[in-house]
Structure 1
Amino acid sequence: MYSHQDFRARELAGSWDRTFADLHGAMKFATDDATAPWTGRLVWQESDAFCIARCSGREESMSREAKHIRTDPRGTFELLAPLAGEAWVEQGSESIRLTPGLMALCDVDRPFRFAHDEGLLSVSLIVPEQRVAQRSRVAVRGPHLIEASGGLGRLIRQMVTTLHEEREQLTQPTFDGACDRLLDLVCLAAEGQTGTTPVGHRAAVEASIRRYVRAHAHEDSLDVRAIAATLGWSPRYVQQVLQAAGTTPRDLIRSERLRLARARLGSGAWGAMSIAQIAASCGFSSHSAFSTAFRAEFGMTPSEARHP
């Protein structure tokens, strides 16, 4: 089975309750006014193993109790990642407040209570408990709070959001394979190992670093610490990722600054600026060092690269 679904509730809350329970498991729903028209939306794709769902709707609370689990066991875990608004999860002795900077991994077959405000927009990854247990003894002892503002958590949030956005372009094998790799990261984050990622995912981290450096190459303060602080990684990990790619933070920054300088030297819009001024605008503090690096990189002097 592999399907895409888009449910828009424009009737009473009952239709929403049934659809939500079909996806997440039987539970009890509560709202301020159960007779009011409901305008929630659920959009999801699912295979036999995985499901990713995006949800929005008015303020409500729901509880999955022992009686619901007995009659409708799911054998699943759910990663909830808010994109906007706030939500609250209570499971066991844990009480978690969720915002767009935080995610929660919960066992669907343990009693819990979930509530959210009317501004909540969230995306969820629903996975088999067995696959979680195969990866991590720690992850199955949730709930787990995962930081989503940087590092590994940020990568997880980006991946689950992208999988939802690209759902119509993904075949079932591609969808399942991507969810499997995503679950590897989720379990790693649940174990608290948020400072690194598996080698297979370093390409995504490297791409993020390169995009950031290209966008900020002109800034004098750009260095490995600035990159790490903004992207949520440690400076050491940024160095490791770039080293594996055959470069260093310093070399990457210099290369991007030289690329920017060559583009400006060849642009008529910068024709009124001196070479020294262009070098400074690209983050170079020394004209002579810039000229030497430029010639080593491109085999010509800055003057030879100037717009005629």
Structure 2
Amino acid sequence: MNSVSPLKQLGWKPFFQQQLSLDELNDCQPVKVMAVHRSQIEVSGESGEESVLVSGALFEDAAERPTVGDWLLLARESRKPVRRLERSSLFKRMAPGAKQVQLIAANVDNVLIVSSCNQDFNLSRVERYLALVKEAGCRACLVLTKADLDENHAPFHDALKGHRDLPVVLVNALDTESVAPLRDYCRSGETLALLGSSGVGKSTLLNSLAGTELAATGGIREDDSKGRHTTRHRALYPIVDGGLILDSPGMRELALADIREGLEATFADISALSEKCRFADCVHESEPGCAVQAAIEAGELDERRLHNWRKLEREVARNSKTLAESRASDRSLSQLYRSVQNHARANKNRT
């Protein structure tokens, strides 16, 4: 008999328990957000699964509203959300074509960065995902799917030499034995996220880890190895062995912002080399005594890695500035609205 409480299986930890006041312990119930839809969210807790309408102050701010993986407090009687608990981790990106943040998932413990052993494999994209994961403070593992389609895996191992601290597992997602090493990342009480482009086999891998058909799967286009979108929205799935798995739509665009620490951790080798440069303001191009260029010439650092680091640094700086300007504009607009409302109320009182 499984003696683990439903809340602990959902990932309830002391970190969240300590955030509750005595009144909240008596008057509220914690629930975890399992899926987010336009008009409602699906949550799960000690009382099982239920739906909550998306309305009220808690859902007004796009950057703060509950997302998949969040813990909410529901009033025991009305079942209305009271507040969202502080997050242990948060994945977010710049919304495509917008000047705001789009939340991906919260309170994730482990992340499988999923790519495939075909022309979809892109190390610069892997580094982009890795920066996001490191910023959130989660444990990461790179999973290369479709390993059964080509026995020559040497090019992938060679490409990953600069990431010796990143665990790499090659799998055939349809073979439950080959995915066995990944079960350590989805233990009872932990939440596992799968991040990767469409068509790399995320849904198939999810089903193999869960031991059941949780997500629809689709094939890939043979001409470019690009996949069809098989997942329509982000959702958490409980699995037989305990724990939760997050499945999310494939993201071809993953614009980064506000992740400087994650970026520095992902390119820690370049940061370490930079400290050895002769000049403190070295930009690692043609300056004398540049340790970074010396490492490239010696074959100790891939030039592609330096170029990708520069690209992501510029992107993060640009998007962070855009977000800051957008937030400042929103604050000014809110102040204007309040000023107009106060003026209208003052005029009404005079009459």
TM-score tier after normalising by the smaller chain length? under 0.3
With CA pairs under 8 Å and 6+ residues apart, which has the higher RCO, 1 or 2?
2
Q: Determine which structure has more spread, i.e. the larger CA radius of gyration.
A: 1
The structure carrying a bigger helix percent of its residues is: 1
Using the size of structure 2 for normalisation, the TM-score is 0.22
Using the size of structure 1 for normalisation, the TM-score is 0.24
